[in-house]
Amino acid sequence: MKKFLLLLLALVCMGLLAAKVDLNTATLAELRQLPISADQAKDIFEYREYVKIFESIFDLREIPSIDQKTLLKIRPLVVVSLFQETDDAALRREVIRDLLERMDQNEGSMEGMADVWEDYLMTPQNLNRMHFDDFMGIPNVSGVDAVGILKRTAQGDTIADTRDLRSSAGLSHYGYTNLRNYVYYTEPPVKNRLMWDAKISYNTRYFEEGQYDMLREDFTRDYTTGTVPQRKDLSYWGYFGLNEVDPDMMMKMRVRYGNNFKIGLMNSSGKGESGLMSANTESFIKDSKWFAGYENTDMPGLNNSRLKAYVGNYRVTYGEGLVMENTDFYSARKTGFGFSKRILGITPDLSKTQEFALKGGAVEYTHPLFGVSAFVSQDDKDAIMYINKDGSPVKRDEYGNDVFTDNDTTSPMYGHQYYTQGFSKIYSYANGSPVSADKNKVFSYVIPTIRFDNDELMDAEASFNAEMNASTPTSYKNPYINLATRTDALREKLWGAHFQINPMIGTKLGFTTYTALYDNAHFVVPGYTGDVNIFNTLLRTYADFDEAHGFKLRKAVNSELSNLYSTQTDKYSRDYRRVIGFDGQTVIGNTSIQGEYAELSVNGSDTKLGDDPMAYLASAYTQYENLTFLTLIRHTDVDFDNPYSNSFSEHERFDGTMLDGNVYSLTNSSIADLYLNGNQAQPEQGLYFETRYKFNNYFTIGRSYLDFTERLADHRRSVRFQSELELRPLFQISLRLRYKNQVNRFEDLADRCISKTNEYTLAARTFLSNRDFLELEYRYNTVYAPPYLSITSLAQPGNNDGTAGQTLMVGDYIAANYTHNFTSSLKIQGSFLYWFGHGISHWDWEDMEIDFMGEKGSKAWVAISSRISQNLYMNIKFRNKTYQDKEMRIRRNNDPYYSSLIDDQIYLQRVEHSENTIRFSLDYRF
């Protein structure tokens, strides 16, 4: 009986303790439940977070707002538990796990960045010895935050721990919470520790709609004759059997020893490529990315200098990304703040970037007062090349002539090279030397949707050419494929350097340059005039080429194509591309000002500014505790063609040109990859404003921006506005209202090409116990725009129907999202949504991936994340997406012939889609 009473007493005591508020673990909301004012609750919370933990209840008297009367009133209601801090590595463990989940297949806007941030988490830096650029590489840490810390450490005030860090003047709460997990303060927590991680992923993703249309486009004879094509192999999709192809697969492994030695290996194969599924060892090695590096970020005796050296694949970024930021991926409105950060300097690269990956060696030395880096690379690049009827590359001589080989066995000049002059073949130059050329004629770099084998691609093109040659004589302007993608066809040797001085804390000035050498190719881009112009080079049929009925109004915007960089023109002939630029940054009070200026060397002098195509960007970022404000101005010339540039813009390059949505008109539909997978900013100029403001605990204005843009190719002016208001009447409930408005050609409301878009979104979120989450979202869109001429006004003389007037399109979208944590190691996420576009494109953030949907449909997905063991993580996701695209509606109106095929089974496969995808990944970290 005594034991029972003692047990009962213990349970009662435990219940009483559980009912009390623990001063060392309570949230601010829980502290507000005590019989004290809201300000007193906040003072208690901030004392614990920023001063020290509570050792006894009497520590409350150290808070000025807590008097003896208040202490006695709340003493029976609170308790002080024993609180022990674990080591830094343990404190970061959950942060690393969350980042791993977010990184899972999340290439894109943060492509390649998460790898570096994970590396920073696993091998943190000494806060007291970090440089300004080191802070700028941490997500959501601003220049104002960095200066606040650096001014303190420059005075010899060593920051001892996280609470000491929070007391730094000028450091915002937002910057503090994001920085604390990336740093240590005294001894490195991973000193002389061997760590390694490995990851493998499998993804049966589908192509995006634009890529799907491009691969499905037929190379048929003249369909206006009424002959229905019977063969399914007259497109890339049919010829290569892309209904059944290998999925995306990726394998990655990295090894680190302390903070100094790092090596890594990654092999990634896209959809339709062999990659990991291939038994070809040589191909596996060639297509893999790797690096080996040494970093010393704590060099005693050298006044806090640091050294980095890498061989293999590496990434280089400086300034605002105008001169150098090598990535294959484009991100709209990349400000360089928040999670759209640029990690400055040289870092290892195991991202999915292939085309603009740098492979060679790089070294970087930095000092608090200056920095210098140099890099060299040699790699073969994919390119769109001019080709002959047999698929062989067109050659180019030093005089600017297209050179061919005489394959006529009956000709006495069989096997000799020649160029044409009128209808004559010229076999020798004026000086008597034979015609000779060993350089290929190249149109542009390209990031192909599928990296087909070159020999297989030539066989496919021969089949397509045979079909097109069987057409009537007037069907095609170009009766054969004259431009095609070739993998590893362009041999590029690149070198570059960056020099920087730091005259004072938070101020820097830099100079960056690179030169890319091409010893096996000439870039040649036609203009508008002459028989060989941009239209009859890229377009397939006479109707498409006819400027009077197809592209007259789009001639200006297509100057983005005709102004691509050429290494050979009627003014010069060279074998390189060179870009130079200057960047700078300074912090004045609570405002950070930064910018960059870049020039592409064409006709001007490398030592003179303003005489070549240029780009510039400048921004000012002002930060208060609850308010941030960004102002950004930018300009990019139409002929500033820098493939290694990845700066801020509203749209990607070639948006609105003949490559955008017109794959059926191109001499080779795969040319559309220039736009579909482009990485460059569109030539534009504009003014951008962005802000966030937290009024109080109930109302917050989320990311809101206003962007005035002028597309320089045709001087189309646009304005885009978006704002979000969040109401949190309770901590667990959030209501969000978002509004977006976009107007193209806003300066002339009478212009036929004006379009207006409005988007209204209402979302209700509830944050449940155990970090569970439920959200309901509804979106309504309206688009007021002119009708598509391809539907209402066919390219025929005398047909002017529908060339004026406006149409109103509406669409809506409803979604439910849910997250449930079974335990701290097992989580399930899911979503269901339905949309009806009515001609409007909808988008969705799906498990940290952005997805663009078709005309009408539904989508559901579920993802399970599990921490199988201490170091092993698994993520598996299933998605079903069923939808229609708008091709049926467009082609039904556009052509009577296709209207007759609407019920054809082959055609329905093009417009009715049902996609089931599986994504699986395993991540092991030791």
3-state secondary structure 48-114: HHHCCCCCCHHHHHHCCCCCHHHHHHHHHHEECCCCCCCCHHHHHHHHHHHHHHHHCCCCCCCCCHH
pLDDT at 665 over 60: yes
- Mean pLDDT to the nearest integer, 453-472: 83
Residues 67 and 23 in one domain: yes
Dihedral over alpha carbons 41, 44, 49, 53 (to 10 degrees): -140
**724-740: per-residue pLDDT in tens?**
999 998 888 999 999 99
Report yes or no on 387 lying in a domain: yes
Backbone angles phi, psi at 293, to 5 degrees: -145, 160
Other CB atoms within 10 Å distance of the CB of residue 573: 15
Judge whether 112 lies within some domain. Answer: yes
Say if CB 442 and CB 490 are below 8 A apart: yes
Judgement on whether residues 778 and 925 belong to the same structural domain of the protein: yes
Q: Note whether residue 777 is domain-resident.
A: yes
Q: Are residues 879 and 808 in the same domain?
A: yes
Q: Which of 276-290, 486-500, 694-708, 848-862 has the lowest mean pLDDT?
A: 276-290
How many Cα atoms are found within 13 Å in the side-chain-facing hemisphere of 679? 26
Burial (CB count <10 Å: 0-12, 13-18, 19+), residue 474? exposed
Distance CA 680, CA 325 (A): 10
CA pair distance 117, 133, nearest whole angstrom:
14
Residues 744 and 770: beta-carbon distance below 8 Å: no
- Residue 447 one-letter amino acid: I
Taking the C-alpha atoms of residue 787 and residue 808, their distance in angstroms, rounded to an integer, is: 9
Neighbour tally for 170: CB within 10 Å: 19
Give the residue-averaged pLDDT of 647-653.
Answer: 92
**In this prediction, what percent of the chain has a pLDDT beyond 90?**
32
pLDDT score of 816 more than 90:
yes
Q: Output the CA angle 852-858-864, nearest 5 degrees.
A: 85
| For residue 792, pLDDT beyond 70 | no
Going through 519-590 in order, the beta strands assigned E by DSSP cover 521-523, 576-588
C-alpha to C-alpha distance for 575 and 523, rounded to whole angstroms: 9
What Rg do the C-alpha atoms of the chain give, in angstroms?
Answer: 31
Over residues 389-413, the pLDDT tens digits come to 888 898 888 888 888 888 888 888 8
Predicted local confidence at residue 245, as pLDDT: 65
Q: Which 3 state secondary structure label does DSSP give 540?
A: coil
pLDDT at 747: 61
Same domain, residue pair 154 and 46: no
- Domain end (from 191, 209, 241): 191
Residue 569 has pLDDT above 90, yes or no: no
Is the confidence at residue 790, as pLDDT, over 60?
A: no
Indicate the pLDDT class of residue 748, thresholds 50, 70 and 90: low
Name which residue leads in pLDDT, 49 or 41.
Answer: 41
> What distance, in Å, lies between the first and last C-alpha atoms of the chain?
52
Q: Which two tokens stand for residue 788?
A: 């598509």
The enclosing domain of 20 has a CATH number of: 1.10.150.320
Q: DSSP string spanning 408-420?
A: -TTSTTTT-EEEE
Domain membership of residue 534 (yes or no) is: no
Amino acid at 536: N
- The pLDDT value given to residue 708: 95
Structure tokens at 120: 């920073």
Number of H helices, E strands in the chain: 22, 37
**Residue 903 within a domain:** yes
DSSP label of 275: G
Lowest mean pLDDT among 18-22, 367-371, 466-470, 831-835: 18-22
Q: What are residue 508's DSSP bridge partners?
A: 585
Q: Which of 32-46, 798-812, 856-870, 902-916 has the lowest mean pLDDT?
A: 902-916
pLDDT at 616 over 90: yes
Give the pairing type, strands 21-22 and 78-79: parallel
- In this prediction, residue 82 carries a pLDDT of 63
pLDDT, averaged across the chain? 81
Tokens of 817: 């999202």
| More confident: 221 or 194 | 194
At 228 the pLDDT is: 46
CB 877 within 8 A of CB 907: no
Pair 26, 119 in one domain: no
> How far is it, in rounded angstroms, from Cα 361 to Cα 261?
16
d(CA 787, CA 894): 12
Rounded CA separation 709/333 (Å): 11
The more confidently predicted of residues 692 and 14 is 692
The predicted pLDDT at position 10 comes to 43
Closest CA to 383 of 465, 312, 484: 484
pLDDT at 839 over 60: yes
φ and ψ at residue 319, rounded to 5 degrees: 60, -130
Q: Which of 139, 174, 191 finishes a domain?
A: 191
User: For the residues 343-372, what does the mean pLDDT come to?
Assistant: 93
For residues 147 and 130, the answer to whether their CB atoms sit within 8 Å is no
| 39, part of any domain | yes
Q: Write the CATH number for 898.
A: 2.40.160
pLDDT confidence tier of residue 107, bands split at 50, 70 and 90: very low
**Model confidence at 554: pLDDT above 80:** no
Quote the CA–CA distance of 439 and 317 in Å, as a whole number: 31
Percentage of residues in the chain having pLDDT higher than 70 = 81
Residue 359 CA: distances (Å) to CA of 37, 285, 312, 363, 445 = 61, 13, 5, 13, 17
SS3 647: coil
Select the more confidently predicted residue: 125 or 907.
125
pLDDT level of residue 658 (50, 70, 90 thresholds): confident
What's the structural domain count of the chain? Answer: 4
In eight-state DSSP terms, residue 746 is T
CB-based burial, 589-612: b 16+ in 10 Å, e otherwise? ebbbbbbbbbbbbbeeeeeeeeeb
Q: Tell me: do 894 and 766 sit in the same domain.
A: yes
Question: What's residue 265's pLDDT?
Answer: 93
Residues 20 and 112 reside in one and the same domain: no
pLDDT of the residue at 446: 94
Dihedral over Cα of 898, 903, 904, 909: its sign: positive
For residues 716 and 747, the answer to whether their CB atoms sit within 8 Å is: no
301: helix, coil or strand? coil
Residues recorded for the chain: 926
Whether residues 71 and 135 share a domain: the answer is no
**Do 766 and 874 belong to one domain?**
yes
Instruction: Give the HSE-up count for residue 525: Cα atoms under 13 Å, Cβ half-sphere.
Output: 17
Q: What angle do CA 355, 639, 531 make, to 5 degrees?
A: 95
pLDDT value at 901 more than 50: no
Mark out the alpha helices in 473-580 (DSSP H runs). 534-538, 542-545, 559-562
Structure pTM?
A: 0.83
Instruction: Characterize the bridge pairing of strands 521-523 and 439-445.
Output: parallel
Structural element, H or E, at residue 285: helix 281-287
pLDDT computed for residue 924 by the predictor: 85
| Per-residue pLDDT, 246 | 72
Residue among 111, 136, 114 at smallest CA distance from 125: 136
Is the model's pLDDT at 320 over the cut of 90?
yes
Burial class (CB in 10 A: 0-12, 13-18, 19+), 55: exposed
* Sequence-separated (6 or more) residues with CB below 8 Å from residue 476: 222, 468, 540, 541, 542
Q: Return the number of other C-beta atoms located less than 10 Å from residue 538's C-beta.
A: 27
Write out the residue range of the structural domain in which residue 67 sits: 16-79
Residue 365 lies in a domain: no
Average pLDDT of the residues in 835-856: 74
The first and second tokens of residue 549, run together, are 């009925």
Please tell me whether residues 44 and 182 are part of one structural domain: no
Domain for residue 571, yes or no?
no
| pLDDT given for residue 191 in this prediction | 62
Token output for 450: 């599928």
- Please report the pLDDT score of residue 908 as a whole number: 44
Collect contacts of 205-212 with beta carbons under 8 A, ≥24 apart.
205/247, 205/248, 205/271, 205/917, 205/919, 206/881, 206/913, 206/915, 206/917, 207/271, 207/449, 208/676, 208/852, 209/852, 209/854, 209/885, 210/661, 210/672, 210/676, 211/449, 211/676
Residue with the larger pLDDT of the pair 543 and 80 = 80
Q: Which residues contact 440 (CB under 8 A, 6 or more apart)?
A: 385, 386, 393, 394, 395, 396, 489, 490, 520, 521, 522
Could you list the beta-strand ranges (E) of 387-473.
395-396, 402-405, 417-421, 424-426, 439-445
Dist. CA 306–CA 296, nearest whole Å: 5
Task: Output the CA torsion sign for 477, 481, 485, 488.
Answer: negative
d(CA 370, CA 365): 9
Q: Is the pLDDT of residue 218 over 90?
A: no
597 compared with 462, residue with greater pLDDT:
597
Sign of CA dihedral 166, 168, 169, 170: negative
Q: Where would I find the H helices in 799-859? A: none
Q: Are residues 845 and 816 both part of a single domain?
A: yes
Q: Are residues 920 and 798 in the same domain?
A: yes
Task: Answer with the one of 79, 99, 127 that is the final residue of a domain.
Answer: 79
pLDDT value at position 317?
94
